[in-house]
Chains A and B, each alone.
Chain A
Amino acid sequence: MAPGRCLKAGAFVFIRPCPAKSKFPVRQTKVEIVFLQLHRFLVLVTILSLCAPCYDSFADQPPSLENYQQLLANFSSPEKEACANAQTSWQNICFKLGRTEHEANRVKACEQMCASLATGQPLESALFILRLLERMGGNESVATLRQLVASNGQEVADGALRALQNIPSDSAYQALVDLLNSSPNEKFTINVINSLGYRMEAKSISTLATQLESPTSEVQLAAANALSRFDSLPAAKAIFSAWKKAPGAQADRLVETLIVSAKRVNKPGERTEAASMLRAVYDGSSKPNVRAAALSGLFSNVGQDSIQLMVKALNCDNVFEQQAAIGHVRELSKEEVVSLTESLPDMPAALQASLLTILGANRVEAALPAIEQACTNEHSLVKIAAITALGHLGSANHTQLLLDQLNGDDDLRAAASHSLAMIFDDEVDDLLLKRLAALKEGIQRAELISILSARRAPALADVMVDAKDLFSSDAEIRKRANGILNRLGTTKHIPALFTSMAKISATEQEGTAKTIVNICSRIPNADEKAAPVLNMYKNAPNELKPYLLSVAGRIGGKAAGNFISSKLASSSSHEKDAAITALCNWPDDSFCDQLLTIAQNGDTAAQRTRAIRAIARVVVLPSSKHSLQEQLNILKQTMKLATQDDERKLILDRVKAIGLSSTFEFVRSYLDSPSLSRQAEASLVHLARIRELRQADQSIRGDLERVSKNSLDVKLRDRAKQYLLEY
């Protein structure tokens, strides 16, 4: 951890001025000065070397175990709060004891808990203690747990077994083996087998293997399942042997574990033998998914034959085997890919298509020559797959080939279009733009624009202006152009965007405004974000000025703020109104005070309403510069100014973002209002989700009780009840 304190201590030593009386003469020689500094340096190093290892901001003294008996008394308390407090306290102590340096105390704590269990505890206490022992128990806990596993209570027995299962010690292992050997019934045997499987200790393989000899099929299956978790040839061989001896139905159940086990074998000298087991399964099983599972293991183990095996699988009737082969494509080496693609022409068209698709999707470069060849295949399925694959692997060199496909049928055109959009090579943009320049209108022009837009080609934004798409008489073309400028436009496009606003509908103007806001939001200097818009204002036609102001307000920034503020004092009521609109559009709460003034003293009701809604919108934004209490005060003030329920509801809704106890007071006062109670309930329950608030303020409980009983909203009632349960 940060040796911050040590550094501070060292620095203090280092720079502390010499005491007034020094053993050195007042006028020190250079040598003496150097000696003094060296002395101080050595002191600093010593301090650091002493402090660094022991300064650990997470280290603490081992927690005290003194209160255990007191806490134990409440582990099953009918008072839920007392129970939760006791359990939480003890649990926190126990979790801390997991540190290596607290080992002695960990043992002590576990011994205490085991002693409690031995004397008998209520069920809830016992289960709680067992969960803790599961997490932190050691050798000291084994004897007690072993006894409890044999207890009459199923829940306790299960808890004890889980705990034993999770104790990584030899004594716990031995206890489990002993339990297995003395198992009273099949179910118990299976549970212990599962425990050994969970532990995955190599020494348990032989124990588990003997369980494969069990005459009970379920026990045998559990043992096989447990063994299959190991990367172990002996484990795989044991299962293989059991599988071969098992009758039909049981063999079918065992085979899945055999496959898993054989696949896990990973040591180089053992894989051949594991592969032979998989081969036996593959040749001997009639279940398609089983054969396929075995086959997928063989792919990795048969070396040069894997391609032949893959091709055979791809050509068979078993769709699972086909899927296994396709899944293996990801693992192929370059040489194997070349070998596989050489077999492509001999495969049915559908298979070729599937393979080309997956080779492309996995960006297997070695497959590119085969993909290029397949682009001229006479079978449309193959051709389309190859065209699609080029989207992942192609380059600018493939542009013309793909462009030619745009004249093809729908599927081919769609594939080519998609690939042209995807090829990650900037040169493709240039080639497409060149082609676009030659087209004035038509479907292909629209297609190319769509492709270039998907490619995010910056130059397309210029095309939208230069080629007058932005000013088209066709609304769809204008909309497309606006969308492209939204994503790719820069400040140089803003004048054209504003010009286009003059002749379009209000809905379209809104879209254009959003585009301008987005473009300006990309300007690095936050203060000057609105500069392109403000620069246009002076020379803009009057009918455009309100838009300019409104958009400037949406953009924000210091320059816009100053400009808009100056317009608030305008003698023109239109300009003033536009400035107010601009302030109401402001992206943060910088102008809250002005908005409050407008909400109170605005010339028109519409202005006052707009201001109220704007305050509600901005004051609780994450970027708010006001403290939570200030936010609440502002909303309270605004609430007093609101004249309509729509605004009041909005304020009540927004206030739920302010996580303070005093917010509850505010919201509570509206629970009795017929028109506002529903919103008040919703905000109250939303606030109540903050556990710290609930716990700090008991009066919230009363609010939740009221909502849980009286709210007309089922979901709110349920949520309120849930929070009440946590008290």
Chain B
Amino acid sequence: MNKLYANRRRFLAATAAGISAPLYIPSSALGRDGHTAPSERIAMATIGTGSRGTSDMKSFLGFSQVQMVAVCDPVTAHRKNALEIVNQRYGSNDCRDYNDFREVLDRADIDAVMIGTPDHWHALITIAACRAGKDVFCEKPESLTVRQGRAMVDAARMNSRIVSGGSQRVLGDYGDTPRLVRGGAIGDVKEVFVSCGEPSGECYLPEESIPAGVDWDLWLGPAPWRPFHSTLLKGQFRPYRDYSGGGMTDWGAHRFGAALFATGLHRTGPVEIIPPNGDDVERLTYIFENGTRFYRGGTNNILYRGTEGEIPGVHPSLLTRVDMEAYQGTGGIFGDFLHCVKTRELPFRDIEIAHRAMTVCHLGNIAYWLGRPLKWNPETEEIIGDHQAGRWLDRPMRGSWALS
């Protein structure tokens, strides 16, 4: 038993006056691992219970060491649906539902939160959660802008929080490829072709009347005001710049993240980003300091081209193991997060790694939108020599919302 964790349960039980502790969960509701003592459970909340948020919540519910105690969403139907799922899982009515995430973060009995909101909320809620002493699992795309991503990293470090990003595909989808590439099966990697969707753009959805049970102002949060449209609540906000980076960040989070990891570039960034121009530049191109080039496009999800072959394709085999990061604990990226909550190791998709991957996506979007190349300093995280482009590294927030 991890006594560190046990101390916290006893301590919080003593100080959480006025907050009722969830009842004992019957062992029949727990996983095959069997009974997990209450002192070892990680009390979690899900903030953002749309389609993806609920799906992740269900994944966490499958871990016997998790106790889901709260769900939150500004759309009543979404959070009531999530509440029902949780209560059915545990055979109790102990989970509570909330409209406003700030009430969730005020609860001292919550150890960690899972953020499944649209992208424009990820930074604010992650930072607030860190400052409230919660560990965070944040779905991808982890950030909406470069500066927001860096603010998330700072908050995690300043508050000694475990913050994991949510790309389960880096290690999940690409089989043995990371090991082969990292291990040198194709020699030095010269080019990587990454397939992902388009950048986001403006939203031209017409106005609809706001139905009962939707807190539209809260859904918008820091994003610029626009009239309500139901499509945005159905997970279909991705094409629109105010809420997301489009396919570039949606699948880019996975595939650029995977490509960076496999090539060992996941702790740095490109130095030049060149959009296609219909002339001598056919594809969005990223150039790294070591000469490696990433391109957006191609017929494969990700294609690596090295001095000694290609993956996918015929390449020399690499049978031996490679020294590289992997998930800790069991249960994929979710289990990795839970393991790290207990041991305080940094998770596989630590927020710094997630931020680096998202930065590649964001820079690509900026280059596309502006139609011109960018020079980037991955250490200082500044665009060099283009002040106008530099204004895209962050977004002013609406009303009283602000990063800290």
Contacts and interface: CB of A to CB of B under 8 A. Distances in A.
A348 B279 CA distance: 68
B206 A358 contact: no
Nearest to A87: B202
A159 B399 CA distance: 9
Interface stretch (B59-67, B89-97, B315-323): B315-323
Given A99-B372, A456-B320, A349 B3 contact: yes
A608 interface: no
B310 to A, nearest CB: 11
A84 B202 contact: yes
A561 to B, nearest CB: 15
Interface in A334-390: 348-351, 353-354, 357-358, 361-362, 381
Contact of B344 (A100, A326, A488): A326
B299 interface: yes
B contact face: mostly helix, strand, loop, or mixed: loop
A122 to B, nearest CB: 12
Contact of A2 (B159, B236, B280, B309): B280
A98 interface: yes
A187 B160 CA distance: 33
A197 B402 contact: yes
Contact of A57 (B133, B234, B277, B391): B277
B319 A456 contact: yes
Contact of B319 (A95, A100, A348, A487): A487
Contact of A88 (B202, B344, B396, B402): B202
Contact of B225 (A134, A155, A163, A256): A155
A323 B402 contact: no
A225 B396 contact: no
A555 B160 CA distance: 51
B370 to A, nearest CB: 5
A165 B6 CA distance: 47
B319 A96 contact: no
B356 to A, nearest CB: 17
Contacts of B328: 361
A590 interface: no
Contact of A358 (B132, B202, B345, B388): B345
Nearest to B128: A256
Nearest to B151: A229
Nearest to B198: A691
A488 B4 contact: no
B404 interface: yes
Given A83-B204, A348-B3, A162 B396 contact: yes
Nearest to A624: B299
Category for how many chain B residues contact A: 35 or more
A327 B346 CA distance: 9
Interface string A147-169: 00000001100110111011010
Nearest to B343: A357
Contact of B397 (A198, A350, A691): A198
Contacts of A161: 396
Contacts, number: 198
Interface string B128-156: 00011100000000000000000000000
Given A134-B396, A162-B396, A165-B396, A458 B319 contact: yes
A8 to B, nearest CB: 12
Contacts of B314: 521, 523-526, 529
A594 to B, nearest CB: 23
A319 B4 contact: yes
Given A95-B371, A136-B388, A289-B132, A361 B345 contact: yes
Contacts of B319: 456, 458, 487-488, 490
Contact of A288 (B3, B11, B343): B11
Interface string A118-145: 0000000001100100111000000000
A229 B133 contact: no
B298 to A, nearest CB: 9
B267 interface: no
A495 interface: no
A259 B277 CA distance: 47
A521 B312 CA distance: 11
Contacts of B231: 721-722, 725
Interface stretch (A188-196, A543-551, A643-651, A664-672): A188-196
B205 interface: yes
* Most A Cβ at <10 Å: residue of B198, B205, B226, B400: B400
A159 B345 contact: no
A319 B13 CA distance: 13
A260 interface: yes
Contacts of A163: 396
Nearest to A362: B345
Interface string A446-464: 0000000001111000000
Contacts of A80: 204, 206
A623 B202 CA distance: 35
A257 interface: yes
A408 interface: no
Nearest to B242: A131
A95 B370 contact: yes
Contacts of B404: 225, 228-229, 257, 260
B224 interface: yes
Contacts of B160: 292-293, 296, 320, 323-324, 326-328
Given A2-B280, A317-B11, A166 B343 contact: no
Interface string A285-299: 000110011001100
B133 A288 contact: yes
B402 A296 contact: no
Nearest to A134: B396
A225 B132 contact: no
B3 A293 contact: no
A226 interface: yes
Contact of A522 (B277, B317, B396): B317
B107 interface: no
Contact of B371 (A58, A168, A228, A358): A58
A682 to B, nearest CB: 18
A91 B241 CA distance: 13
Contact of B388 (A98, A194, A222, A289): A98
A95 B396 contact: no
A601 interface: no
A495 B236 CA distance: 54
Given A57-B277, A488-B319, A320 B133 contact: yes
Nearest to A167: B391
A718 B11 CA distance: 49
Contacts of A322: 4, 7
B158 interface: yes
A131 B224 contact: yes
A362 B300 CA distance: 35
A265 to B, nearest CB: 13
A541 interface: no
Contacts of A521: 314
B288 interface: no
A256 to B, nearest CB: 5
Interface of A: 1-2, 4, 57-58, 80, 83-84, 87-88, 91-92, 95-96, 98-100, 127-128, 131, 134-136, 154-155, 158-159, 161-163, 165-166, 168, 187, 190-191, 194-195, 197-198, 222, 225-226, 228-229, 256-257, 259-260, 263, 288-289, 292-293, 296-297, 317-320, 322-324, 326-328, 348-351, 353-354, 357-358, 361-362, 381, 424, 426, 455-458, 487-488, 490, 521-526, 529, 622-623, 691, 718, 721-722, 725-726
Closest A-B pairs by Cβ, 7 of them: A350-B3, A289-B133, A522-B317, A98-B388, A327-B160, A319-B8, A622-B299
9 contacts: A127-B225, A161-B396, A165-B396, A198-B397, A297-B158, A319-B8, A354-B4, A455-B321, A490-B317
Given A99-B372, A100-B386, A350-B3, 16 more contacts: A88-B202, A98-B389, A134-B396, A158-B399, A159-B225, A297-B158, A320-B133, A323-B344, A328-B160, A357-B345, A424-B323, A455-B321, A456-B320, A524-B315, A622-B300, A725-B231
